[in-house]
Amino acid sequence: MQAPYRMYARHLEGVYGGRVYRVGVDALFSCPNRREDGTGGCAFCDGRGASAVYHRTQEHELSRLGLCRDGIVEDFCSNAGSLAERIDRIRFQIERGKAFVKRRYKAERYSIYFQSYTNTFDTIENLRALFDAALACGPFVEFIVSTRPDCLPQQVVDLLASYTGMVEKVWVEIGLESANQRSLDLMGRNHDIECYIRAVKALHLRHIGVCTHVMLGLPYEGCDDYLATARLINAVHSDAVKIHNLHVCAGTRLDDWHRQGEVCTASLKRHVSDCIFFLRHLQDSVVIERMMCETPSHRRVSPRSFPDKHQFLAQVTQSMETHGWVQGDLV
């Protein structure tokens, strides 16, 4: 049965003839939006970065303790080590990641995913060495790099484009969050909308795919803002999108605002409704890679209780099918 939106898994199956599994790595990058002591950064970021579930060995233990407000999880980017150590770490993570997805899903096709922090925030020499080392552990179907729009100078775009002959597709995931500049300023993003537009244009000129990260439920935002964000993504022809519901991580500025009653997060019902509204205004060619955050519960102040992604996606699908709605029907 045809889904009412362009599902990522079905997109991959259509392109490659089967399932493709991401192998995520943390190459110990930092972020230009944080100071050397770890302070600063975006209002929603707890400085711990995103990482694949099979790399969260320390967090497995912490998850049994409930919400941890004391910053127990170490910020790895503050102690990056030498380039050789980072390469060794990448190789180890790829070996472990491949073993995990092969054991759990019987995977046969893999993509390499530079996932944690800002994965183009380094010298061009270091980037080339790290990317080369990771791709040498292939073969990989796709090469995926997550970063910020202000960390994509032309030499980095050229470097990424140089890998198009080694994989079927090179992708860059760009954090936009919102088309509302006031929201970006409030969240402390320290880039503007034009920066995002320039980055997407530069990547597309080199035939690199773009996945845009957006966040629904930001303070003071509503349907008009979601509509503007969808229209911006349509205008720049972003190839894919990841949707996150606003969530509050312990120890962040957002956490402070939440305690003061200035910020609230969406209920399940509201996030389902917001996602459907967003999807209906998004061109039907845009691949939907994600629709909710997966931050571990011991780091998440709010929402404390939220269904797993399969239950959430089932609710989105059921509601759209019941009403006869599909992605892009309001574009």
pLDDT at 85: 97
Which pLDDT does position 153 carry in this prediction? 97
Buried/exposed 42-61: b ≥16 CB within 10 Å, e otherwise: bbbbbbbbebbebbeeebee
Asked if pLDDT for residue 47 goes beyond 80, the answer is: no
Q: What is the pLDDT of residue 92?
A: 97
Report the pLDDT value the prediction gives residue 307, as an integer from 0 to 100. Answer: 81
Q: Which residues pair with 175 in a beta bridge?
A: 213
Q: pLDDT (tens digit, 9 = 90+) per residue, 287-314?
A: 999 999 888 888 899 998 888 889 999 9
CA-CA distance, 279 to 226, in Å (whole number)? 10
Q: Which whole-number Å values give the CA distances from 273 to 220, 229, 270, 318, 331, in the listed order?
A: 17, 16, 5, 12, 17
Contact between 216 and 226 (Cβ < 8 Å): yes
Write down the pLDDT at residue 306: 80
Q: Is residue 296 part of a domain?
A: yes
The pLDDT value given to residue 317:
97
Provide the mean pLDDT of the chain: 91
pLDDT of residue 34: 78
- 160-208: per-residue pLDDT in tens? 999 999 999 999 999 999 999 999 999 999 999 999 999 999 999 999 9
DSSP one-letter string for 114-159: E-SS-TT-S-HHHHHHHHHHHHTT---SEEEEEE-GGG--HHHHHH
Query: What distance in Å separates the CA atoms of residue 247 and residue 156, rounded to the nearest whole number?
Result: 31
Check which CATH number belongs to the domain holding 116 and give it: 3.80.30.20
In a domain, 178, yes or no: yes
With beta carbons less than 8 A apart as the criterion, state whether 112 and 94 touch. Answer: yes
User: For position 114, what pLDDT does the model report?
Assistant: 97
State the Cα–Cα distance between residues 129 and 119, nearest whole angstrom.
Answer: 13
How confident is the model at residue 46, as a pLDDT? Answer: 84
Average pLDDT over residues 271-283: 98
Please indicate, yes or no, if residue 330 is contained in any of the structural domains.
Answer: no
pLDDT score at 241: 98
- Which pLDDT belongs to residue 77? 46
**What pLDDT is attached to residue 1?**
72
pLDDT of residue 240: 98
- Which one-letter DSSP state was computed for residue 300? E
Helices and strands (H and E) in the chain: how many: 11, 9
Structural domain total, the chain: 1
In a domain, 280, yes or no: yes
Contact 81, 130 (CB under 8 A): no
Tell me if 253 sits within 8 A of 263, measured CB to CB.
no
Separation between Cα atoms, residue 204 and residue 74, nearest integer Å: 36
For residue 73, the model assigns a pLDDT of 40
- The DSSP call for residue 288 is E
Residue 269 lies in a domain: yes
d(CA 4, CA 16): 21
CB 273, CB 311: distance < 8 Å: no
The secondary structure of 203-259 as a DSSP string is: HHHTT-EEEEEEEES-TT--HHHHHHHHHHHHHHT-SEEEEEE--EETTSHHHHHHH
Residue 145 forms part of a structural domain: yes
Which residues fall within 8 angstroms of residue 317, CB to CB, at 6 or more apart?
A: 3, 4, 5
Q: How far apart are CA 263 and CA 113, in angstroms?
A: 32
Residue 296: its pLDDT value, please?
85
| Tens digits of residue pLDDT in 120-168 | 999 999 999 999 999 999 999 999 999 999 999 999 999 999 999 999 9
Domain extent, residue 76, equals: 8-319
What pLDDT sits at residue 323? 97
Residue 327 lies in a domain: no
pLDDT in the model for residue 68: 59
Closest CA to 280 of 324, 244, 314: 324
pLDDT at position 21 over 60: yes
Share of the chain above pLDDT 90, in %: 79
> How far is CA 171 from each of CA 17, 145, 159, 225, 299, rounded to the nearest angstrom?
19, 6, 12, 26, 28
Judged against a pLDDT cut of 90, whether residue 37 lies above it is answered with: no
Write the pLDDT tens digit of every residue in 60-118.
Answer: 554 445 555 554 444 444 456 899 999 999 999 999 999 999 999 999 999 999 999 99
pLDDT tens digits, one per residue of 209-249: 999 999 999 999 999 999 999 999 999 999 999 999 999 99
Residue 326 placed within a domain: no
Per-residue model confidence (pLDDT) at position 54: 58
